[in-house]
Structures are given as C-alpha cells and as structure tokens.
C-alpha cells in the first residue's frame, strides 16, 4: 500500500497539515504536497477509471504527463474537470472528485465495457457508426454517451477573472530545471533581456532527485545560488507556475501562469496568459519517462520509475512497501537505490537486457538488491491493485517462471526528450537509435523572419540527460556554439515485453492508459492498412484527448513501425500542436468577456432610447432599438403600433449607425463611377442618388444613397454593418489599383448623428421646428440642403426607406440628442413616435426595397433583384461589370426577386424553399425558389414576403408551394415585390 | 504570428495589426477581356511552398496597403515594399536569390 514515510520529503512541510476532501472523504496532507502525493500518502492509489473500458486507474506519473489522475476540482462556479492531481498543489479545504465512473469509483458499471472489449477494439467508433445502423442509434450510442467523457464542466459562469500580459524578451527560456537556469544565466551574462518560465512551483527540475551533485555542489545549493544570482539581475524575469504553452511564428510564445490555483480566495486573476515576443527561445523542457509494454501494465500500483523516486524524495511518500523495478536501462536503478535508502523493500530489479554492468546496477547489487537480467514481466497480478508479477525470459513468449509478490511496480522504458515546443513552429526531429529517442535536429530548427533558427533546445530536451554535459549543452544553447557530445545513455530499446509475446499478452499491454489503447490495437490498425501515424492515431485514439500521448506516443509508433516493418524514423511522429498541456478557456478569453467582450458603440441618442423602452438588437457593435415597448406591450404589438403611426402621422428613427463616407478630390467622380454600378460623376451638387456596390465577382455587397456635397465632394451612405468594410474596399482600390487618382476618403460615420423623420406629417414637424425651408419646392425628393432647424446646424436629405414623405437629418454628433429632443417636443401635437429597426424593416418590405443581408447573401447580383435600372449601360467599366457578363451570371434560369403572398395570409417561414414534385438524380426534391425576407405587415394585415424564384418575374400570379419546418407546405402567390404605394406618390410630395 | 515591417510608416507590425489581402502582382482584367484572362485574374492563385508575394494592409496602424515577399515554408521575410510597386525591388530579388538559389522567378514577377 502507498503510505507516508516517517521522515523525508524535501518539498513538504510536516508542520503544516492541510485538510482536503476526495470523493466526499476528509483526508490530510502537508503543505508542499501535490494532490497526487497527498492521495498516495493516504493510500488512495485508485483515482479514476479509463475512458473506454472503465478499468481502474492509479497514479502513474508525478508531473504533467500523468494520464490517469484527472479529477474534478472545486465546486459550483469554480468547478473544473480534468485537472491533473500531479500538478495540483494541495491547499486547505481543497475539494476533488474522481471522474468517469458510475455509480462509484470502487464499483463501476461501465467496467462491463471491459467484457465487451472484443467489440471496442481499434476503430470501434468508425465501425459502429457504419453498421448496423439501428445498433448505433439504439444500443451503442446511448451506452457510449452515458459512459463517455472524462469529466463534465459546470454550467455556471466562471466565478474567476483572468488576464493577458504582453512582454518582450531577447531570450525566452522555457523550463526551469538546471539546464534552463544555466541557459538563462549564460544569456543574462551577455546582457540580453531574459525571461524564464517554469511550469511547476519549484525550480531545478529533476536534479535534486536524480543527481548526487551539480558542479560539485549539492543540487539544491546549486539551484539556490543560481536563482539568487538570476533574481539579482535587472535584465532577468523569472516566473514559476508558468507553463510554456506554445511557440509560434517569428518568436511568438504563449505562457500559462497559474496565479491563484493554489491560493484560492486571493484577489488576483486566477490565470494569466503571457503573450511574449522573443528574439530567441530556448526549450529546456526536460524529458518524460516511457512506460514498458507488458501485460497488466495498467494495474494501479504500476508507476513510472522516475515518479516513484520523486514521491519518495520530494514528498516522503512511498507508492508501495515492496516494489519490483522493471527496466531496459540504467536510470531505473536510481529508483532501486532511492527506495533502499528510504528503508523500503526492493523485491527485484527485472532488467530486460542480457547484461547490466554500469555504475548504477553495480551500486544496486552492492546494496544487496536482487538484479535479474534478461528477464521480463510476463504479467502483473492483481485487479484494483498490484499483488505480484510473473517473471519470464525477455526473449521468450512469456511462459511464466517465478512469481514475485509486490504491491508496486516501477517501470522505465527510457526517457523521451520533451520536443513539443521545439516542434510547434516547424522544428524537425532526428531519431537517435543508440539512445532510443527523438531529439531536435539543430539543422532543421524553427526559423524566424531573418531565416535563422530562433529556437534552440537545451539539456534533457535536447537528449543530453545529465551532468556536466547537460550544463555545457545549456551554455551552448544560450551562447551559440557546439556542446561536447554527451555520454550515451545505457539503454536497449524494448517496445513489447517479453519480446515474443503472443496475442493474449499483447491484448493486455497498454500503450495509452487514458484512452485504453493496447499494443494489439495498434497492430490491428497496421493490419487494416493504417500506414500513416496520423491516421493510426485517429483510428485507435492513441495519444488523443487531454493526454496527447505524452507517455504512449513513442511506444505506440515503435509498435506501428514494427508491425509495418519500417524503421521508426520512417513512421515518424504525430504533429505536436499547442498547447503543451491543456490551458483554461478563461485564460484564453482573458478580460474579453461580458461587457468588455466587444466594444459597444452608442449613438448620441442611445440613453434616450434606453429611457424610453428600447428593446435592443445588436447591429454589429452597435445596439439599435428593435422597437420601443410601452408598459405591458408585446413586441409584435409595438412594431405594429409604430408602423401605423408612421404611415398615418410621423415617426423618428435613429439612423446614426448608417455608414457615412466622404469621398473627395478631383478624381472622386471618376472613382465613384468605378465603385457604383450607376453613374455618380454626373450627380448635381445638392442632389441624392441611390447606388449599388458590387465586388469584382459581380455580387452585390452594399447599397445606399450618395449625396453630392460640392464640386469635388460626395457623401456615400452605407448599410449599418458596412461602413468599415466599404471604407476598406474603397481604400484597397485607391491604394492598390488607381493609386495615381487624386481621391481621398474619410469614414465620418461617428461624426454625425442622423435622424429619419418619416410620415405624411414629417414636413409639418420640421416646419414646427422652424428654420430651413423644407417645402417641396425648396427641397424636392432626392435632394438635400444644409441649414438650421430649431437653431441646430444640419443637413436634410429628402430620401425615404419607408415609402413615406421622409427627411434624414444629419447633425454633428454633439447636437444629436438636442435635435432628437427638439423633434420629440415639437411633434407632440402631431403624435410623433420613435420607431425601431423592425418597423423600418417591415415598411421597406412593404415597399419592396431590398435589404443587404436579406435579399443578398454573397451569391446575388443586382440583376437578380430587378435592379437593372440602377446599372449604367453607358459606363465602360465598374467593379463587377466584367463578372456580370460571365455565362452563369447572364443565365436566364437564375432565380429572380418577386413578392410572395400566402393564400391563407400566414407568414412564410424564414428561408423556406419553393418545392416541386420533381426529384433530382440523388432523389432530392427539386426546388425553384426561396424566401429572402418575410414578416407580418400591419398595413395589409397579412403575411408578406420577398423571395428569389426561377423565372419569377415572368410568373406573376402563379402559386408556389413552400416547405415548413413541420414537414407540411404552404401555398403562396407570386406578386410584385412593391405592395405599398407602387407609384411612389407618398414619398414624393 | 508574423511580424512584417510596414514600408509606409516603418513600424514592425504584429500580425494582429495587419489584414491579409492575398496574392500580389495580379493584373486586373475588366470588360473586354477574354474568359481565360478574367478567370486567371479573378480565380487563379499561386499557392507555393516557398517564395511568395503577398498583399497586406497595416489595418490597425497607418491603414496603408503594402506588399511582402516571404517564404511560406520557413516564414522567412525577404522584404516589404509599397503597394504602388509594379515590380519587385532589386534588393528583395537579390535577397531571395541569395537565400534560395533554386528559386525560379514566375513570369508575372517583374524586376525593377
Ligand atoms: Zn504602417
């Protein structure tokens, strides 16, 4: 059983006892514990269940590579699933629960999946998706849904806050082990601005556990001295609890700092995302130990050898009382020596190699530890916990020999450099067959803007595992130059154990503990033709999910390479993608949530609307009143009231969000003739004209009224959402195509408040304000004039989007609210009301006016919309003209705009298709049109709609059938799109 | 996250300040052009693994469009130059040739 040792533990403070809760049970740990060490100290080895078979899972590792000990942490709005117990610092009253089990961790019904393992082998998702279909829907899917998933997120809003920090560094060192510290020191000595990140709370990495000394000093002393020096340097920034999450183009890096995870309640951001631009990046990210693949290597109590000695040395916790060590290398003997020194029993070291003659094996033997070479573990005994191992010859098929009783197994398959960050931005790897590891290839490093390498790997991350060679490698990474070649590690690759194991054993050798992928699954994938390692990953789920193969990838691809008879480097690795380990969504969002997710744009009259019942709708970053609700009024009723008030009297709408772009200069007219489909150069000063803008593809992208201000100045109105886009469109053509034309543009959207005054009494209202002559003689339809009303400076445009007599009044933004108030006050006797966007939409639909984004969707040309009248035939060219001559654009079968009226007066569904009785070659219903906008018209008291219909304008009066969501259809007659005042007499009075 | 130096204002601009505009040095074909010419203008784009010429706009800076020569595989930047350039500056072509001796200049790329 795992237990706390009576003494020892360099990271814990036995004077500080911390109470915490795991699965509802109160337990105790010490200050400095991780949740994993505290659980082991309480003999809680079983911490979860595997993803697919729900097999019992124990703690395997001591760091971020841990695949099993994922827990739900916290409660309520602070609950977070999938937190690694091995990287969670213990704090008082921590609450954690295990995952992926039902009804309890100790008794889990999903473990029955293990009995179904024959059906859940490689590719089971794909196979069960396919056939038999009914099985998927009624059997597999409900079962899998119930048992799938590692943890569930809370549905409450995150109670914590997060922030982004931006920084620059000449040299960014990722990893604070002795290699990283040395690299930072060397870089800082050169005068460079240095930043160094360490993912854990502790500097120095593995050296205090693994190395007897560093440069002749006890490792902890060397680390303290180096940290002391670094902290004293003004050009060095050190951040612990900060993981290098990703390395990106041109020296960009993301760091993930866990600020308050271990200090709950502190008034500080929980996580911080560092966004750093670095001149050079040194990855000193260490190495991760590989498991060995033997039958039953997933039984709780089987752990990585390095992790076993970490728990003993760092936390004074022993995973077992009697441990068997199994290895293919010398390093694992460190664990044997550590356990022996702590007074724990080492039952045997099982070494797959024929001979083990290095210093470490000899030291182990001299301590009296039994070393068995040429041997392997045939199988692990025990279900929920290791009870023993059967020993066999490694070269054989697994015929069991001696049984060794034990309650823990420490395994080591060798160490793999952490090459993730090196690889994120294109760094390539080489396979070092002697050391049995992939290491960064310095000849193919990630390159920056100058074409030179900007990432260098140092220390264990570079395959240089320890000692003077490691420090020399770190200095070389920081200062440039070559490091002396390190001593080769004493290792013989072992990819399955025993070497000639048959199918029965291979089906119990786990490669990926989290996703339940076994040696037999990868071999099956190879047999089924999965040649690419990327395909094999998806097919078997090896290295998927939160784990991303930190433990299992190299073993998995070695098995794949063996099955294919191809060398390991030819099979290659899967792609390493950021982040290195999962980071919180909160850290990614940073401050951008809630009210500050996006800037909110307010018109000068925004607060007035809010005070008068505005029911807001978003329009880009603006908020516009959809309608103004009176007490007790429903939205539909408000919209109907507003429309009838405008049609019968006068109403105001805040049109300030309309885009307003000034185009000015001697060549402005010529430019606008290219930009709009119709002529703008011949528009007289003082006049207005409706215009259409197309992309070079010919598709309609925006519309609006253009007013000519003076000889060389035009004011272009765009749609509310279009101002920035259309301004950018203008600048693109001006800067890149017609850069010799003398034209200047300015987006003045926010400089003006704009109010549309619409309705038969609009003129009466303006005359009540007094000032500018707004009579039809002085200011006819489609003209404009400048002046003052009620003393407020403005321009009045005689344009209409409602079909009524209408003026749009534009005044400098600072006068907007005053003008609005003056209109409201003066209009009391006339019954003036404020109306919202929905009333505007319905009134324009009654008039048959198109709306960008409703009638257009990026595939519609003006000719489809009956807007040929707004396309100049005289002009030699305009943007989109050539495209509109293409065969498909002139096809008479294109769907064209019509009005639609249901026979029963109902409102057609949004986006409904006109269906026919015909079917196409695929058996699909042939359609002949679709609804583009639809609403209830209070004016006509019925549903009205517009749509695009094949040969539509030639089919007036025909009845079409439109589908509805419930599967039925509704009949609608093709009519003219303009229902209201077709002759236009009301707007031109 | 690329860095490109805006040739108009001289700022080393982070990619978040920039808006991409696709391939550079494409000649506009308008009315009167053949279907083949128009298709090439509107739709045909190079997608090289290696040297590429692109349009970028310093959208959240000075607002100016500019052109960039860079390698799509290694992210090396050979230079940026004004959007009004109909030819690639000699210094940039020399740098490309020095770094990529095997590079074959596409016909549409004109030397200055
Ligand atoms: Zn600029």
Which residues of chain A does B64 touch, with a Cβ-Cβ cutoff of 8 Å?
735
Contact residues for A557 (Cβ-Cβ < 8 A; gap 6+): A533, A568, A571, A572, A573, A574
Q: Is the minimum CB–CB distance between B72 and chain A shorter than 8 Å?
A: no
For range A578-589, the mean pLDDT: 95
Q: Is the minimum CB–CB distance between A739 and chain B shorter than 8 Å?
A: yes
A622 and A642 fall within a common domain: yes
With respect to residue B108, please indicate whether it lies within any of the assigned structural domains: no
A190 and A250 fall within a common domain: yes
For range A169-174, the mean pLDDT: 98
Q: Provide the angle, in degrees to the nearest 10, between the axes of the packed helices A723-736 and A668-675.
A: 120
Which residue, A457, A479, A501, sits at the end of a domain? A479
pLDDT at A267: 93
CA distance A298 to A58: 8
A777 and A829 fall within a common domain: yes
Question: Is B76 within 8 Å of A449 when comparing Cβ atoms?
Answer: yes
A176 and A268 fall within a common domain: yes
Which residues of chain A does B22 touch, with a Cβ-Cβ cutoff of 8 Å?
none
Residue range A671-684, pLDDT digits in tens: 999 999 999 999 99
A678 and A818 fall within a common domain: no
* Token pair in block for residue A903: 């026979």
Q: Is the minimum CB–CB distance between B91 and chain A shorter than 8 Å?
A: no
In angstroms, the Cα distances linking A106 to A27, A44, A102, A112, A147 are 17, 11, 9, 13, 15
Would you say residue A114 has pLDDT above 60?
no
Question: Is B57 within 8 Å of A447 when comparing Cβ atoms?
Answer: no
For range A688-716, the mean pLDDT: 98
| A85 or A55: which leads in pLDDT | A85
With respect to residue B106, please indicate whether it lies within any of the assigned structural domains: no
Distance B62 CA to ligand 1 centre (A): 4
With respect to residue A683, please indicate whether it lies within any of the assigned structural domains: yes
With respect to residue A222, please indicate whether it lies within any of the assigned structural domains: yes
What does the DSSP 8-state code read for residue A159?
Answer: -
A742 and A802 fall within a common domain: no
Give how far B58 is from chain A: nearest CA, Å. 11
Distance B3 CA to ligand 1 centre (A): 12
Number of domains in chain B: 1
Considering the entire predicted model, what is its pTM? 0.91
Distance B22 CA to ligand 1 centre (A): 18
Would you say residue A481 has pLDDT above 80?
no
Question: Is A731 within 8 Å of B28 when comparing Cβ atoms?
Answer: no
CB-CB: which of A696, A728, A735 is closest to B83? A735
Residue B25 lies in domain: 3-99
With respect to residue A597, please indicate whether it lies within any of the assigned structural domains: no
Residues above pLDDT 70, as percent of chain A: 95
Dihedral (Cα; A703, A708, A711, A714), 10-degree rounding: -40
Residue A442 lies in domain: 162-288+416-479
Give how far B102 is from chain A: nearest CA, Å. 16
pLDDT at A55: 86
Residues 11-30 of B with CB under 8 A from A: 14-15, 19, 21, 28-30
Would you say residue A828 has pLDDT above 90?
yes
pLDDT at A544: 79
With respect to residue A672, please indicate whether it lies within any of the assigned structural domains: yes
Q: Where residue B66 sits, what CATH number does that domain have?
A: 3.30.2270.10
Q: Is the minimum CB–CB distance between A535 and chain B shorter than 8 Å?
A: no
- Give exposure, A547-579, as e/b (b: 16+ Cβ within 10 Å): bbbbbbbbbbbbbbbbbbeeebeebbbbebebb
With respect to residue B105, please indicate whether it lies within any of the assigned structural domains: no
With respect to residue B58, please indicate whether it lies within any of the assigned structural domains: yes
Triad A955, A960, A966: Cα angle to 5°:
160
Average pLDDT for chain A: 93
For range A231-240, the mean pLDDT: 98
pLDDT at A930: 98
Would you say residue A110 has pLDDT above 80?
no
A723 and A790 fall within a common domain: no
Would you say residue A137 has pLDDT above 70?
no
Q: Where residue A771 sits, what CATH number does that domain have?
A: 3.30.1360.120
Question: Is A248 within 8 Å of B76 when comparing Cβ atoms?
Answer: no
For range A254-279, the mean pLDDT: 95
SS (H, E, C) A669-725: HHHHHHHECCCCCCCCCCEEEEEEEECCCCCEEEEEEEEEEECCEEEEEECHHHHHH
Distance B10 CA to ligand 1 centre (A): 6
Question: Is B65 within 8 Å of A448 when comparing Cβ atoms?
Answer: no
Residue range A735-772, pLDDT digits in tens: 999 999 999 999 999 999 999 999 999 999 999 999 99
- Give exposure, A39-59, as e/b (b: 16+ Cβ within 10 Å): bbbbebbbbbbbbbbbbbbbb
Q: Where residue A273 sits, what CATH number does that domain have?
A: 3.50.50.60
Distance B55 CA to ligand 1 centre (A): 13
Mutate to test the interface with B, among A599, A696, A735, A878 (most CBs of B within 10 A): A735
Q: Is the minimum CB–CB distance between B49 and chain A shorter than 8 Å?
A: no
Residue whose C-alpha is closest to residue A69's, from A105, A104, A17: A105
A284 and A195 fall within a common domain: yes
Which residue, A821, A843, A865, sits at the end of a domain? A843
Question: Is A876 within 8 Å of B31 when comparing Cβ atoms?
Answer: yes
With respect to residue A463, please indicate whether it lies within any of the assigned structural domains: yes
With respect to residue B104, please indicate whether it lies within any of the assigned structural domains: no
Confidence of residue A920 (pLDDT cuts 50, 70, 90): very high
Q: Is the minimum CB–CB distance between A696 and chain B shorter than 8 Å?
A: yes
With respect to residue A466, please indicate whether it lies within any of the assigned structural domains: yes
Q: A with B: how many residue pairs have Cβ under 8 Å apart? A: 69
Mutate to test the interface with B, among A249, A449, A887 (most CBs of B within 10 A): A449
With respect to residue B107, please indicate whether it lies within any of the assigned structural domains: no
CB-CB: which of A426, A447, A737 is closest to B28? A737
CB-CB: which of A449, A450, A697 is closest to B42? A697
Would you say residue A125 has pLDDT above 90?
no
Residue keyed to tokens 């498991």: A291
Distance A736 CA to ligand 1 centre (A): 15
Phi, psi of A38 (to 5 degrees): -65, -40
Distance A656 CA to ligand 1 centre (A): 30
Confidence of residue B109 (pLDDT cuts 50, 70, 90): confident
Q: Is the minimum CB–CB distance between B98 and chain A shorter than 8 Å?
A: no
Question: Is B83 within 8 Å of A736 when comparing Cβ atoms?
Answer: yes
Distance B63 CA to ligand 1 centre (A): 6
What does the DSSP 8-state code read for residue A960?
Answer: E
Which residues of chain A does B1 touch, with a Cβ-Cβ cutoff of 8 Å?
248-250, 252
A675 and A783 fall within a common domain: no
A694 and A834 fall within a common domain: no
Q: Is the minimum CB–CB distance between B103 and chain A shorter than 8 Å?
A: no
Q: Is the minimum CB–CB distance between A448 and chain B shorter than 8 Å?
A: yes
Which residue, A811, A843, A875, sits at the end of a domain? A843
A813 and A836 fall within a common domain: yes
pLDDT at A117: 60
A221 and A269 fall within a common domain: yes
pLDDT at A102: 57
pLDDT at A151: 72
Would you say residue A108 has pLDDT above 80?
no
Q: Is the minimum CB–CB distance between A880 and chain B shorter than 8 Å?
A: no
With respect to residue B111, please indicate whether it lies within any of the assigned structural domains: no
Residue of B nearest to A887 (CA): B35
Which residues of chain B does A697 touch, with a Cβ-Cβ cutoff of 8 Å?
42
CB-CB: which of B2, B30, B65 is closest to A882? B30
Q: Where residue A687 sits, what CATH number does that domain have?
A: 3.30.70.1400
Distance B52 CA to ligand 1 centre (A): 21
Would you say residue A777 has pLDDT above 70?
yes
CA distance A796 to A385: 85
Confidence of residue A54 (pLDDT cuts 50, 70, 90): confident
- The answer to whether ipTM exceeds 0.95 is yes
Would you say residue A492 has pLDDT above 60?
yes
Would you say residue A123 has pLDDT above 60?
yes
Residue of B nearest to A880 (CA): B30
Question: Is A252 within 8 Å of B1 when comparing Cβ atoms?
Answer: yes
Number of domains in chain A: 3
Omega of the bond prior to A678 within 30 degrees of 0, cis?
no
CB-CB contact of A651 with A765 (8 Å): no
pLDDT at A537: 87
Question: Is B76 within 8 Å of A732 when comparing Cβ atoms?
Answer: no
Distance A253 CA to ligand 1 centre (A): 24
pLDDT at A50: 81
Give how far B1 is from chain A: nearest CA, Å. 5
CA distance A240 to A174: 10
């Amino acid at each position: 059983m795992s237990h706390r040792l009576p003494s020892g533990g360099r990271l814990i403070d036995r004077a500080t006892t911390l109470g915490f809760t795991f699965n509802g049970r109160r337990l105790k740990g010490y200050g400095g514990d991780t949740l994993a060490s505290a659980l082991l100290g309480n003999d809680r080895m079983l911490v979860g269940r595997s993803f697919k078979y729900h097999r019992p899972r124990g703690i395997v590792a001591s760091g971020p590579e841990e695949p099993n000990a994922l827990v739900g942490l916290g409660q309520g709005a602070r609950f977070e699933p999938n937190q690694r117990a091995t990287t969670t610092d213990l704090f008082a009253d921590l609450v954690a629960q295990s995952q992926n089990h039902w009804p309890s961790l100790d008794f889990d019904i999903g473990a029955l999946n293990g009995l179904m393992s024959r059906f859940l082998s490689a590719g089971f998702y794909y196979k069960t998706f396919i056939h038999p279909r009914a099985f998927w829907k009624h059997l597999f899917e409900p079962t899998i849904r119930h048992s799938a998933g590692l943890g569930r997120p809370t549905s409450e809003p995150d109670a914590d806050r997060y922030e982004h920090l931006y920084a620059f560094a000449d040299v960014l060192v990722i990893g604070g082990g002795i290699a990283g510290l040395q690299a930072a020191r060397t870089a800082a000595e050169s005068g460079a601005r240095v930043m160094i990140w360490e993912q854990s709370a502790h500097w120095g990495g593995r050296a205090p556990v693994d190395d007897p000394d560093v440069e002749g000093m006890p490792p902890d002393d060397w680390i303290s001295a180096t940290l002391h020096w670094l902290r004293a340097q003004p050009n060095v920034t050190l951040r612990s609890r900060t993981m290098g999450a990703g390395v990106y183009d041109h020296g960009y890096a993301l760091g993930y700092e866990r600020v308050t995870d271990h200090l709950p309640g502190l008034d500080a951001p929980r996580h911080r995302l560092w966004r750093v631009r670095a001149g050079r990046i040194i990855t000193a990210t260490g190495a991760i130990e590989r498991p060995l693949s033997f039958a039953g290597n997933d039984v709780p109590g089987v752990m990585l050898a390095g992790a076993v000695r970490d728990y003993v040395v760092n936390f004074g916790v022993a995973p077992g009382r009697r441990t068997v060590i199994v290895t293919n290398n010398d390093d694992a003997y460190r664990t044997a020596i550590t356990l022996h020194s702590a007074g724990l029993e080492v039952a045997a070291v099982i070494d797959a190699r024929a001979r083990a003659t290095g210093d470490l094996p000899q030291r182990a033997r001299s301590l009296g530890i039994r070393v068995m070479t040429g041997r392997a573990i045939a199988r692990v005994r025990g279900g929920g916990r290791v009870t023993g191992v059967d020993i066999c010859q490694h070269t054989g098929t697994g015929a069991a020999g001696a049984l060794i009783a034990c309650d823990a197994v420490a395994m080591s398959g060798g160490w793999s450099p952490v090459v993730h960050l090196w690889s994120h931005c294109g760094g390539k790897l080489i396979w070092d067959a002697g050391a049995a590891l992939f290491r960064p290839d310095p000849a193919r490093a990630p390159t920056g803007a100058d074409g030179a390498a900007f990432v260098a790997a140092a220390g264990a991350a570079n395959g240089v595992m320890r000692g003077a060679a490691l420090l020399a490698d770190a200095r070389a990474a920081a200062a440039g130059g070559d490091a002396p070649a390190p001593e080769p590690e004493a290792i013989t690759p072992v990819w399955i154990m025993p070497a000639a194991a048959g199918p029965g054993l291979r089906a119990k050798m786990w490669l990926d503990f989290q996703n339940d992928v076994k040696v037999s699954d990868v071999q099956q994938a190879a047999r089924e033709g999965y040649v690419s390692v990327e395909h094999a990953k998806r097919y078997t789920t090896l290295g998927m999910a939160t784990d991303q193969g930190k433990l299992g990838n190299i073993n998995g691809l070695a098995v794949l390479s063996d099955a294919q008879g191809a060398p390991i480097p030819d099979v290659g690795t899967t792609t390493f993608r950021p982040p290195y380990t999962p980071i919180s969504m909160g850290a990614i969002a940073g401050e951008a949530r809630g009210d500050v997710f996006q800037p909110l744009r307010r018109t000068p009259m925004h607060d007035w609307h809010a005070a008068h019942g505005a029911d807001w709708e978003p329009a880009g970053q603006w908020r516009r009143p959809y309608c103004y609700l009176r007490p007790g009024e429903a939205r539909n009723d408000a919209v109907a009231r507003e429309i009838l008030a405008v049609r019968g009297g006068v109403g105001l709408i805040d049109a300030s969000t309309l885009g307003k772009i000034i185009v000015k200069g001697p060549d402005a007219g010529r430019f606008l003739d290219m930009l709009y489909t119709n002529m703008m150069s011949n528009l007289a000063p003082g006049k207005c004209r409706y215009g259409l803008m197309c992309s070079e593809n010919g598709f309609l992208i925006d519309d609006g009224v253009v007013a000519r201000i003076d000889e060389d100045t035009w004011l272009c109105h765009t749609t509310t959402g279009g101002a920035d886009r259309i301004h950018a469109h203008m600048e693109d053509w001006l800067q890149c195509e017609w850069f010799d034309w003398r034209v200047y543009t300015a987006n003045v959207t926010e400089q003006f408040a704009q109010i549309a005054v619409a309705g038969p009494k609009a003129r009466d209202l303006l005359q009540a304000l007094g000032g500018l002559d707004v009579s039809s003689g002085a200011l006819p339809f489609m003209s404009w004039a400048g002046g003052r009303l009620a003393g407020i400076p403005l321009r009045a445009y005689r344009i209409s989007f409602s079909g009524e007599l209408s003026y749009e009044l534009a005044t400098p933004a600072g006068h907007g609210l005053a003008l609005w108030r003056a209109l409201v006050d003066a209009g009391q006797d006339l019954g003036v009301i404020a109306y919202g966007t929905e009333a505007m939409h319905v009134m324009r639909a009654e008039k048959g006016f198109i709306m960008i984004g409703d009638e257009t969707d990026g595939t519609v040309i003006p000719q489809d919309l009956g807007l040929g009248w707004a396309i100049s035939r005289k002009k030699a060219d305009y943007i989109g003209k050539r495209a509109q001559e293409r065969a498909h654009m002139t096809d008479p079968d294109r769907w064209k705009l019509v009005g639609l009226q249901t026979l029963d007066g109902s409102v057609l569904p949004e986006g409904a298709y006109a269906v026919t009785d015909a079917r196409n070659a695929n058996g699909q219903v042939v359609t002949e049109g679709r609804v583009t906008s639809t609403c209830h018209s209070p004016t006509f008291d019925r549903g009205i709609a517009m749509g695009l219909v094949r040969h539509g304008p030639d089919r007036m009066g025909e009845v079409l059938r439109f589908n509805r969501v419930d599967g039925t259809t509704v009949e609608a007659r093709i009519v003219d799109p303009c229902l209201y005042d077709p002759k236009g007499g009301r707007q031109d009075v | 996250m690329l860095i490109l130096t805006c040739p108009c204002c001289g700022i080393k601009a982070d990619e978040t300040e920039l808006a991409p505009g696709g391939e550079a040095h494409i000649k506009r074909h308008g009315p009167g052009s053949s279907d083949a010419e128009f298709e090439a203008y509107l739709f045909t784009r190079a997608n090289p693994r290696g040297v590429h010429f692109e349009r970028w706009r310093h959208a959240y800076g000075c607002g100016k469009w500019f052109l960039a020569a860079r390698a799509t595989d290694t992210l090396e930047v050979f230079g940026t130059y004004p959007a009004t350039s109909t030819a690639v500056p000699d210094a940039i072509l020399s740098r490309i040739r020095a770094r990529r001796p095997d590079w074959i200049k596409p016909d549409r790329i004109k030397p200055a």
